[in-house]
Chain A
Amino acid sequence: MANEISIGPAAPGCKKHDPILVADNVMRQFGGLTAVNVEHVEIPRGQITALIGPNGAGKTTFFNLLTGFDKPNTGSWTFEGKNLAGVPSYKVARLGMIRTFQLTKALSLLTVIENMRLGAQKQPGENFLRALIRPLWAKNEAAITVKADDLLKRFKLDAKREDYAAGLSGGQRKLLEMARALMSEPKLVMLDEPMAGVNPALTQSLLDHIKDLKKNGTTVLFVEHDMHMVRHISDWVIVMAEGKVVAEGPPAQVMKDPAVIDAYLGAHADTDLGTVAINVPGKAGN
């Protein structure tokens, strides 16, 4: 089936017209277990790509490898043509690849607004010598704060501006982490289960923000389990299982793939679970 994104038909490891990230032979083993073993994968620029797969498929490990939070056994990958193997995580972030974490890292001991300000990258006040002379960074700080407030409003966290992040609920912390990731206007945003724990009604408005990102030219790669979300906004879906890329393609195509249904989506994806027949052994057990 032809599509606009890949060169040729969609298949695991297929080439893309305009990839922003290309990875080759990336392997990560933990003792005897191979967590990641990706031969070749390309992430299309300016598109929203979903990375799905069962738990233990290696999605988060793959994220960690690409962003410098873990070292692979073998493999190389480039971001915007720049070789990233061995580059430390903070440098990767500075190059424009920002990631969020599966277990949220909203900084509890800082307030919401301070969390947001921390997300900005070009604040001269973060340099030790310049920090001592307030006029050198005050203007920048004001601009950063305006941007932070704007993002907080979009994510409906503005009322919590002065609260310590520890006082937010789990879902609100996830939103904060995502909003914070956008402060530095990254080229590629990598979201690890951004909607986990977020109220379904809020999810919808957030998806619009993610679509806005795409309009601004930002590339998005996200891991998710919510198939409705994946179907709704992703342009491309990559399926991982047991460390390998097992399927790729536009969402509609991937979700009809019987292997994917078996391993991941389940046969009841669109049925009402209240009506599915269940087996209950007789209460004779007790």
Chain B
Amino acid sequence: MTTQTPVVYAEHLDAGYLPGINILNDCSLVANQGELIGIIGPNGAGKSTLLKSIFGQVNIRSGKIWLNGEDITGLKANKLVSKGVAFVPQTNNVFPSLTIEENLQMGVFQTPKRFDERFDFVTSLFPDLGKRRHQKAGSLSGGERQMVAMGRALMIDPSVLLLDEPSAGLSPVRQDETFLRVREVNQAGVTVIMVEQNARRCLQICDRAYVLDQGHDAHTGTGRELLNDPKMIELYLGNLADL
């Protein structure tokens, strides 16, 4: 129970891409230091939109977002990066013609002097990145690219890591690896907010989660609470896993 300022505080957001159409409707989210927050929910609920709002990629029509107590509503992405917000998009998240090391260099683009120190941190978490540093990112498989993208995001020593469906399109064994990797990153002290379609796995690893429905944070609780809540199972999780 901490009364520290939350790392991310999104308050009553209304946001959308097309004029007049709001995807987010009075959506709020809190992420405290060191937490692993999950965002799940049905299609079209606004999960990716919420994440992109925090990264300044969507028109916020009402509401505010604070980062460590500072108002960051409407700031452009490059400013957010310098303030410590790292975003890993779902697709096109590495530079295929660059090597792994060069991709990681792009991560510290704004503060190149920190490369060595951050490279050591990232490769201690993901040793494979260090071993294959000269391999071109385009020749990697989907799961391996995810790892590079996450490593690149970690290079700025972020206050918060935003992940957009990191397990999408991966085979089961790679999905499991990704989720375990996210847990490792979080255990190393990074606050993580992840949007996921694989709700079951997401809830298994997160501290707290938000269930978005029609642009609003309809339900929230710890990962375990939501996993075992019969209403959640009926509405969002499905019980295929138990059949």
Contacts and interface: CB of A to CB of B under 8 A. Distances in A.
User: Do chains A and B make direct contact within the complex (CB under 8 angstroms)?
Assistant: yes
Interface of A: 52-56, 167-172, 175, 193, 196-204, 207, 225, 227-229, 231-232, 263-266, 268-269, 272-274, 276, 278-281, 283, 285-286
A200 B240 contact: yes
Residue from the set A54, A268, A274 with the largest chain B CB neighbour count within 10 Å = A274
Nearest to B125: A281
Given A272-B204, A273-B179, A280-B188, A169 B237 contact: no
B236 A54 contact: no
A208 B51 CA distance: 32
Interface residues of B, number: 52
B179 A171 contact: no
Interface string B158-170: 0000000100111
Most A-side CB within 10 Å, residue of B173, B175, B179: B173
Given A201-B42, A264-B173, A285 B124 contact: yes
B20 to A, nearest CB: 12
B204 A196 contact: no
Contacts of A170: 43
A225 B141 contact: no
A228 B241 contact: yes
Interface SS majority for chain B: helix
Nearest to A263: B173
Contact of A197 (B43, B124, B176, B188): B43
Interface stretch (B7-15, B53-61, B64-72, B195-203): B195-203
CB-CB nearest 4 A-B residue pairs: A171-B43, A266-B173, A169-B44, A199-B42
A265 B168 contact: no
12 contacts: A55-B143, A169-B44, A171-B42, A196-B168, A202-B42, A202-B43, A264-B172, A266-B175, A269-B176, A272-B204, A278-B184, A281-B125
B38 to A, nearest CB: 11
A191 to B, nearest CB: 15
B157 interface: yes
A266 B204 contact: no
Given A200-B238, A200-B240, A201-B235, A225 B42 contact: no
A266 B177 CA distance: 9
Contacts of A281: 124-125, 188
A201 B237 contact: yes
A15 B1 CA distance: 63
A226 to B, nearest CB: 8
A227 B200 CA distance: 13
Contacts of B176: 266, 268-269, 273
B40 to A, nearest CB: 9
A172 B42 CA distance: 10
Contacts of A54: 141, 171, 173-174
A55 B41 contact: no
Contacts of A280: 125, 184, 187-188
